Amino acid sequence: MRSTPDLTALYRQVRSQTDQLVEPLSPEDCVAQSMPDASPTKWHLAHTSWFFETFILNEEISGYQPFHADFGYMFNSYYNTVGAQYPRPKRGLITRPSLSDIQRYREYVDRHMLRLLEEDLLGGGTAQIVELGLHHEQQHQELILTDIKHLLSFNPTASPYREIRATPDVSIKPMSWQYYSGGTCWTGTEGAEFAFDNEAPRHRVIIESFELGARLVTNGEYLAFMGDKGYARPEFWLSDGWATLQTEAWDSPLYWEKHDGAWFARTLSGLRKLREDEPVCHVSLYEADAYARWAGARLPTEFEWEEGAKTVAVDGNLAESEIFHPVPLQDANADSPSQLFGDVWEWTQSAYAPYPGYRPPVGALGEYNGKFMSNQSVLRGGSCVTPKSHIRASYRNFFPAQARWQFSGIRLARETR
């Protein structure tokens, strides 16, 4: 557990990072909701403050007066234990309170939280909840960027979130593979540092020998799949994926557009010509799986992915780079797995399920992860909008198979021959 001074500094840092992400946005940007799965930036700002108010301030300060009596209902996400919630698909209809009101709400919560932290008034159990709340806010930092990207993609002016520096072109060599002998392996958190409850208990799994792709699949490689009529060949697709493709009329990854015969992609820095050396991004599990079948490979299990990542330093194109877009593999000659952290969340073939012996925490915080362990698939590794201090080899992200608005991409695996 972090010391109180460390936790105080982390609180200031994380809350400040959220505010910095919002600076390029107008009040109008912050109120709109582009689809039911996305939320307005203003809602993210309020909800992350609601978390601290609900689970810390209401419990630790005798006679604490919430900032606004209605905020408990308006900004509760899915915690049924603490009350009803405003319908998620309609969050964009909450034009009042204003953005400035929400900013005052954040200041109000910060003032009370910092008093508790600076005066060392929190017990060990409560301090752990504060750290959970900060990692929760880092998850919403990602969501602010993914949701605003989706919103801005509908703007005909292709107006950027902000100008972001370009990276040099790279010559990508053909895919190479890293061999793993398999056997009995340990997976999950070791418990020394912060981890979410879904990363535990640490346990053993049996893995057959396998090979992991040394890098992420690129746009150029995905274009070859498309050029071979990959979106029109049902033999590559899971049944649900093929049905979704037909219903949604998919013929390319999300945010790809064709202009005058050339492919472009909408990014957080505006509409840009598609670069073939960049990792393919914004694909669903269905698309990732279909590509892998076409390529004569498969997606890794989450346990294979973790086995490949557990000895790799957490480094790469993460949020701190402030590129907010996948970049080409910088070491074009790398033969061992690269890009395991950052750039894109990597789909696995693993269903999001509890580890053996998993028990959700008691009380409302038990709703954080456990109740979503159905009809979801696991992604690993973080993306270009994931804070470095938030990601680790044991981290389990999860989304439904059809999700595309997250920064999700493809790493291949295959059986050994």
Asked whether 180 and 211 are in contact (CB, 8 A), the reply is yes
The whole-angstrom separation of Cα 288 and Cα 296 is: 13
Q: How would you label 325-363 residue by residue, b for 16+ Cβ within 10 Å and e otherwise?
A: bbbbbeeeeeeebbbbbbbbbbbbbbebeebeebebeee
Q: Distance between alpha carbon 199 and the CA centroid of its chain, in Å? A: 15
Asked whether 189 and 195 are in contact (CB, 8 A), the reply is yes
The whole-angstrom separation of Cα 271 and Cα 317 is: 20
Bridge partners for 377 per DSSP: 351, 399
Q: Tokens representing 269? A: 């820095």
**pLDDT per residue as tens, the chain (417 positions):** 566 779 999 999 999 999 999 999 999 999 999 999 999 999 999 999 999 999 999 999 999 999 999 999 999 999 999 999 999 999 999 999 999 999 999 999 999 999 999 998 887 789 999 999 999 999 999 999 999 999 999 999 888 999 887 888 888 899 999 999 989 999 999 877 899 999 999 999 999 999 999 999 999 999 999 999 999 999 999 999 999 999 999 999 999 999 999 999 999 999 999 999 999 999 999 999 999 999 999 999 999 999 999 989 999 999 999 999 999 998 766 667 899 999 999 999 999 999 999 999 999 999 999 999 999 999 999 999 999 999 999 999 999 999 999 999 999 999 997
Can you list the domains of the chain with their CATH numbers? 4-152 (1.20.120), 177-415 (3.90.1580.10)
The whole-angstrom separation of Cα 75 and Cα 51 is: 9
For 63, phi then psi, to 5°, come to 75, 15
pTM of the predicted model as reported, rounded to 2 decimal places: 0.96
- Edge-first strand order for the sheet with 256-259 is 256-259, 262-267, 270-273
Q: Is the Cα torsion angle 252, 273, 387, 414 positive or negative in sign?
A: positive
Bridge partners for 180 per DSSP: 210
CB neighbours of residue 265 within 10 Å? 23
